[in-house]
Structure 1
Amino acid sequence: MKRSTIPWLVAGGLVIVLILLAVGSYNGLVSSETAVDNKAAQIDTQLQRREDIIPNLVNTVKGYAAHEKEVFQAIANARSKLAGAGTTTEKSEANAELEGALSRLLVVVENYPNLKADTQFTRLMDELSGTENRIAVARQDYNNAVTSYNTKIRRFPAAVYASLFGFDKKDFFKAAPGAETVPEVQF
């Protein structure tokens, strides 16, 4: 082997290593971004499940509390806002509005003891409670995936490839304003 070919072989080897590093980083970023999108879809699935349960719950309560139109209108408005939300931030805000409206509905329920004993209402409340737990888990999983992804796109050398290929920071699914305040329970 000639001495003049050694530098070319070393340079070629370096280029191959850099290409492999770039491909590996890019594929890792794609995998992380796909995981975030998957977790966002899981939140959407659980929000849709809750959205499907709410009309039945509202109709059951309406039979007992026909004069509580304001609460029912707030729930309908919040549901339509959530259904039309496109970004994570919009979904987060609409979700907070819907949670507030559902809280007001539960206050109405307290005024109707017969309603709390209704089997259909109890079943719907159990479904809603289970769905709320699923939403909480899906939000936590999503935020964990976003944390991993956002960290990955900021670390070197992946940060170079992330900016080069347009991988942008993802938004977290934020808690509703006032969620840090412990609710007051009265009997």
Structure 2
Amino acid sequence: MDFKKFLPWIIAVVVIIGIYSWASGIYNNAMTLEQGVKESWGNVQTSYQRRNDLIGNLVKTVKGAADFEKSTLTAVIEARAKATSVTIDPTNITPEKLAEFNKAQSGVSSSLSRLLVSVERYPELKANQNFLKLQDELASTENQILTARTRFNEAVKPYNNNILTFPRNIFAKMYGLKEKPYFEAVEGAEKPVEVKF
């Protein structure tokens, strides 16, 4: 049996298997990293859900103060409703959808800040143990949101690096993989906060 006759076929098969393994490795690595992005996005949503749940309890507690500003409460309730209506599919996060989500969530933060500042004028609320506990939980939740958003960005970076570097970007386009956006500060966040007493 002449081994040299089969050598070109053996080399061709080895090269094809090598290319297949390399290309499937690129895809599999991208899918593993995308799962990390999805998990991080789930943690972001969980943190925001916790805040939305706490806001409902906070509004009920504040409503007990009969002369409390109704417009402030209405603003919080409306911002919460708007924020919960914006949903994002983690497999197809676009910069525009993330900006819309971010803007809706910043509306909640802004109205919630106004609510907590206006509470200072209501001594019976400031002394209410339920309110104080909710206020502490909200502060803790805001820290969790910041952490979840940071971890989301940390999960997006290796995914983007994986699919945007050459020659992986060629296969990423073939597989339909797209760059994921990062969380960014909301518009106007660079301006100092104006505190009025």
Is the TM value for this pair above 0.5? yes
- Change beyond 3 A, Cα 1:168–1:65: farther
Is the partner of 1:4 in helix, strand or coil? helix
- Matched ranges for 1:12-31 at <5 A: 12-31=13-32
- 2:147 is aligned with 1:137: yes
User: Which stretches in structure 2 are left out of the alignment for 5+ residues?
Assistant: 89-97
- Change beyond 3 A, Cα 1:34–1:150: same
Aligned with residue 162 of structure 1, among 156, 172, 175: 172
- 2:126 is aligned with 1:116: yes
- 1:36-95 C-alpha deviation (Å, 9 max, x unpaired): 111111111111111001011122222236341211111111111111112333321110
CA contact (8 A) 2:62 2:68 kept: no
CA contact (8 A) 2:119 2:125 kept: yes
Single out whichever of 136-145 and 80-89 deviates more from structure 2: 80-89
Is the partner of 1:3 in helix, strand or coil? helix
| Amino acid in the other structure paired with 1:47 | Y
Give the CA deviation at 1:183.
3.0
Partner of 1:33: 34
Partner of 1:128: 138
- Change beyond 3 A, Cα 1:6–1:137: same
| Amino acid in the other structure paired with 1:142 | F
- Matched ranges for 1:20-99 at <5 A: 20-64=21-65, 66-87=67-88, 88-99=98-109
Give the CA deviation at 1:177.
2.3
Distance 1:162 1:65 in 2: 59
Single out whichever of 176-185 and 160-169 deviates more from structure 2: 176-185
Partner of 2:182: 172
Distance 1:65 1:168 in 2: 52
Single out whichever of 31-40 and 62-71 deviates more from structure 2: 62-71
Q: In angstroms, what is the RMSD of aligned CA positions?
A: 1.8
| Amino acid in the other structure paired with 2:70 | K
User: Which stretches in structure 1 are left out of the alignment for 5+ residues?
Assistant: none
- 1:5-60 C-alpha deviation (Å, 9 max, x unpaired): 22222221111111110111111011111111111111111111110010111222
| Amino acid in the other structure paired with 1:69 | K
Structure 1 segments, 4+ long, off by >4 Å, are: 184-187
Distance 1:147 1:101 in 2: 32
| Amino acid in the other structure paired with 2:74 | Q
Distance 2:171 2:141 in 1: 39
Aligned with residue 101 of structure 1, among 106, 111, 120: 111
- 1:104-151 C-alpha deviation (Å, 9 max, x unpaired): 111211222332222111100111111111111000000111122111
Distance 2:160 2:71 in 1: 41
